[in-house]
Structure 1
Amino acid sequence: MASFIPAALLWIVTVWRTPAAWRVPAKRALWVAFFALSIAMTIRPDGVSSALDSWLGIHNVATLCKHLAGITAAYAVLTFVYDVAHEQATSLRGSRPRITIPLAAGVGLTLLFFAAPQPGEATDLLTDFADDWRIAVYGVIWSGYLGTALVSATRLCWRWGRLPEAGLLGRGLRITGMGTALGIVYAGHRVLALALRYFGLTPVSPRTDENISSAFLFGALVFILAGSTLPVVRRLHQWGRAHLALTQLYPLWLELTSAVPSVRLDPPRSRRADALLFRHTRGRLYRRGIEIRDAILDLGDHASPALRSEAARYVAEKGLIGAQAEIYAEACWIASAKEARENGDARAGEHTAPASGGKDLHSEVEALRHLATAYESALVREFSSARSSG
Structure 2
Amino acid sequence: MVVFQVLEWTCACAGLSAFAHTVPALLRRRRPRPATVALSAYFLCSGVSFLIALDAVAPAVGRALGDPDRVSLVVHLAVLALTAAQQVVLAHWTYPPARAARRARGWLVAFGAVSIVLVVLFAHLKARQEVSGIEETNWRQLGGGGYTVYLCLLFGALAVGQVETVRLSWRYARMANRTWLRRGMAAVVVGGSLCLLYSLLGFAEVAGHGEAMAKVDLLRWLVGDLGAALEIFGWTVPTWGRRLSALAGWVGRYRAYRRLRPLWAALYEASPAIALDPPRSRLGELVPPRDLRYRLYRRVIEIRDGQLALRRCATAPDVADGERRAEDEAAALWTALRARQVGGAPVAVGVPDVGDAHGDGGGDLAGIDGEVTWLLRVADSFASLANGVNRGG
With structure 1 as the length reference, what TM-score do the two structures score?
0.64
Q: CA deviation at 1:187?
A: 2.1
Q: Which residue, out of 149, 153, 156, partners 2:168?
A: 156
Asked if the contact 1:40/1:70 (under 8 Å) is kept, the reply is yes
Q: CA deviation at 1:170?
A: 5.7
Which position in structure 2 is the counterpart of 1:39?
48
After TM superposition, list the pairs within 5 Å mapping 1:1-390 onto structure 2.
1-11=2-12, 13-14=14-15, 15=17, 19=21, 29-30=38-39, 32-86=41-95, 96-98=103-105, 99-114=108-123, 116-117=126-127, 120-124=132-136, 127=139, 131=144, 133=146, 135=147, 138-159=150-171, 173=185, 176-191=188-203, 193-194=205-206, 196=207, 202-204=209-211, 207-208=214-215, 210-221=217-228, 224=231, 236=244, 240=248, 243-253=251-261, 256=265, 262-263=276-277, 274=288, 286-296=293-303, 303=309, 305-309=311-315, 322-324=324-326, 325-326=328-329, 328-330=331-333, 354=354, 357-358=359-360, 360-379=367-386, 382=389
* 3-state SS of paired residue (1:122): coil
1:337-385 deviations in Å (ceiling 9; x for gaps):
9x99xxxxxxxxxxx97455335143133133234324423259859x9
Q: CA deviation at 1:292?
A: 0.7
1:162-218 deviations in Å (ceiling 9; x for gaps):
789998866764553343233233223434544x5xxxx844477445324313413
Counterpart-to-counterpart distance in 1, 2:25 and 2:278: 32
* 3-state SS of paired residue (1:75): helix
Counterpart-to-counterpart distance in 2, 1:85 and 1:94: 11
Q: CA deviation at 1:53?
A: 1.1
* 3-state SS of paired residue (1:368): helix
Provide closer, same or farther for how the CA distance between residues 125 and 17 of structure 1 changes in structure 2, counting only shifts above 3 A. Answer: closer
Q: CA deviation at 1:70?
A: 0.9
1:121-174 deviations in Å (ceiling 9; x for gaps):
3333882666274x5554344323212211222232445657899988667645
Counterpart-to-counterpart distance in 2, 1:371 and 1:97: 58
Counterpart-to-counterpart distance in 2, 1:207 and 1:139: 17
Asked if the contact 1:72/1:102 (under 8 Å) is kept, the reply is yes
Counterpart-to-counterpart distance in 2, 1:68 and 1:365: 55
Paired residues in the alignment total: 349
Q: CA deviation at 1:322?
A: 1.9
Provide closer, same or farther for how the CA distance between residues 221 and 374 of structure 1 changes in structure 2, counting only shifts above 3 A. Answer: same
Asked if the contact 2:118/2:150 (under 8 Å) is kept, the reply is yes
Provide closer, same or farther for how the CA distance between residues 376 and 33 of structure 1 changes in structure 2, counting only shifts above 3 A. Answer: farther
2:373 aligned partner, one-letter code: E
Q: Percent identity?
A: 17
Asked if the contact 2:197/2:220 (under 8 Å) is kept, the reply is no
1:10 aligned partner, one-letter code: C
Which position in structure 1 is the counterpart of 2:349?
none
- Which stretch of the first structure deviates more once superposed, 180-189 or 170-179? 170-179
Asked if the contact 1:252/1:375 (under 8 Å) is kept, the reply is no
2:300 aligned partner, one-letter code: R
- Runs (5+) with no aligned partner, structure 2: 27-32, 343-351
Counterpart-to-counterpart distance in 2, 1:293 and 1:166: 30
* 3-state SS of paired residue (1:377): helix
Which position in structure 1 is the counterpart of 2:345?
none
Asked if the contact 2:39/2:86 (under 8 Å) is kept, the reply is yes
Asked if the contact 2:94/2:168 (under 8 Å) is kept, the reply is yes
Counterpart-to-counterpart distance in 2, 1:75 and 1:94: 13
Asked if the contact 1:335/1:375 (under 8 Å) is kept, the reply is no
Counterpart-to-counterpart distance in 2, 1:103 and 1:167: 35
Asked if the contact 2:260/2:376 (under 8 Å) is kept, the reply is no
Provide closer, same or farther for how the CA distance between residues 363 and 299 of structure 1 changes in structure 2, counting only shifts above 3 A. Answer: closer
With structure 2 as the length reference, what TM-score do the two structures score?
0.64
Q: CA deviation at 1:5?
A: 1.8
